[in-house]
């Protein structure tokens, strides 16, 4: 149920840089341990000591080498044993090494065939190095199938009900979504014109020094890219000024960033955030938006984890597929096609 020959977000740099502790994390069912080598670059190997099978993530990092916390075996960045107290290690078997790249503020890992790993295929994040943009985000561990989160993010009609006090409004239900499949990418668009912005976007308008109760044109453009990334272009502009294409002076716009990294078949790592295109130097605003976004996503988690419980308890039940589900349905088809290609 995972596409393995692909780049996933495994961690953020601050998670790796905590004292001398390595980071253990499971990605696509594979237990890995991340640490910085002697040159400062992040690397990942199996979280399995070849001596007695202890988790290497319970050890420590000393001068760029991973030292097992059980008997002191020292592991190099390439998965080969370097040394062990009182032992000759020449015949020790290596463990698996996973390709890793630190780029655009994230640690990326390739859990599939290492020979096929190509760093040029990492998802582009044009806002990451753009001084005109600001990013703030976080990480949740979610007890649900990552595909349920894809469904959730590619069908934003749930905002009216799950997020009624922040970003939800009845006009979302009333706007007809348009879904397009462009190669391996699925794009679902929804436009709402001449409406009053919900509370979260009223805050954004005020932050942009725009009237918060004037009619606006609102847009949501959800983009799924394999293996499991969803970027959502969102925003509001003063009504009649061009909507999505309006002058930046009359709109507040952002990109909701969602990296969904499967841990197991029913758990995932959710790296979330927002890259906004207004007042990028305002750190207080970044913190305020991050706090608000965290509360919004926490509402999703409560729903999705209970949904997973229901589905796990009754796996034979067939679910309805409506027109609002088209984004998630098409995204799953892309995943299924890529998995089939790997298996063949």
Backbone angles phi, psi at 234, to 5 degrees: -130, 160
Classify domain 134-343 by CATH architecture.
Answer: Alpha-Beta Complex (3.90)
What is the band of 26 on the pLDDT scale with cuts at 50, 70, 90?
A: very high
- Give the separation between CA 6 and CA 322, rounded to whole angstroms: 30
Question: Which tokens in the block code for residue 176?
Answer: 């007809």
Task: State how far the alpha carbon of 214 is from the alpha carbons of 201, 239, 255, in Å.
Answer: 12, 8, 23
The CATH homologous superfamily to which domain 8-121 belongs is: Rieske [2Fe-2S] iron-sulphur domain (2.102.10.10)
What's the CA angle centered on 285, arms 280 and 291, to 5 degrees?
A: 125
Residues 6 or more apart whose CB falls under 8 angstroms from that of 292 comprise: 166, 200, 203
Q: Where are the domains of the chain?
A: 8-121, 134-343
Q: Quote the strand ranges of the chain, DSSP E.
A: 8-11, 23-27, 30-36, 42-46, 60-62, 65-67, 74-75, 81-83, 97-98, 100-103, 106-109, 134-142, 178-182, 185-195, 216-225, 229-238, 251-264, 267-276
Tens digits of per-residue pLDDT, 233-275? 999 999 999 999 999 999 999 999 999 999 999 999 999 999 9
Question: Which tokens in the block code for residue 313?
Answer: 């308890």
What is the band of 36 on the pLDDT scale with cuts at 50, 70, 90?
A: very high
Write down the pTM of the prediction.
0.94
Tens digits of per-residue pLDDT, 282-335? 999 899 989 989 998 889 999 999 999 999 999 999 988 888 889 999 999 999
- pLDDT attached to residue 287: 93
- pLDDT attached to residue 163: 85
């Amino acid at each position: 149920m995972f596409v393995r020959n692909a780049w996933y977000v495994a961690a953020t740099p601050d998670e790796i840089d905590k004292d001398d502790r390595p980071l253990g994390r499971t990605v696509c069912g594979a237990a890995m341990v991340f640490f910085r080598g002697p040159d400062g670059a992040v690397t990942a190997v199996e979280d399995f000591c070849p001596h007695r099978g202890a988790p290497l993530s319970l050890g420590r990092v000393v001068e760029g080498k991973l030292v097992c916390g059980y008997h002191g075996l020292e592991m190099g960045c390439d998965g080969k044993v370097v040394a062990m107290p009182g032992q000759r290690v020449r015949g020790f078997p290596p463990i698996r090494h996973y390709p890793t790249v630190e780029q655009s503020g994230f640690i990326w890992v390739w859990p599939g065939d290492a020979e096929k790993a190509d760093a040029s295929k990492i998802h582009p994040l044009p806002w990451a190095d753009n001084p005109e943009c600001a990013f703030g985000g976080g990480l949740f561990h979610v007890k649900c199938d990552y595909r349920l989160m894809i469904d959730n993010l590619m069908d934003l009609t749930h905002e009216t009900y799950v997020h009624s006090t922040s970003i939800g409004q009845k006009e979302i239900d009333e706007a007809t979504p348009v879904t397009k499949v462009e190669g391996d990418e699925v794009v679902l668009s929804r436009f709402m014109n001449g409406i009053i912005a919900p509370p979260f976007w009223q805050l954004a308008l005020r932050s942009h020094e725009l009237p918060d109760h004037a009619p606006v044109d609102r847009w949501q453009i959800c983009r799924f890219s394999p293996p499991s990334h969803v970027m959502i272009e969102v925003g509001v502009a003063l009504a009649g000024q061009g909507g999505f294409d309006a002058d930046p002076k009359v709109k507040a716009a952002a990109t909701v960033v969602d990296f969904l990294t499967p841990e197991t078949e029913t758990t995932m790592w959710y790296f979330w955030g927002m890259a906004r295109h207004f007042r990028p130097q305002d750190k207080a605003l970044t913190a305020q938006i991050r706090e608000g976004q965290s509360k919004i996503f926490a509402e999703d988690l409560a729903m999705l984890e209970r949904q997973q419980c229901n589905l796990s308890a009754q796996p034979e039940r067939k679910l309805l597929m409506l027109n609002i589900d088209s984004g998630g349905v098409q995204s799953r088809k892309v995943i299924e096609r890529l998995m089939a290609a790997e298996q063949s």
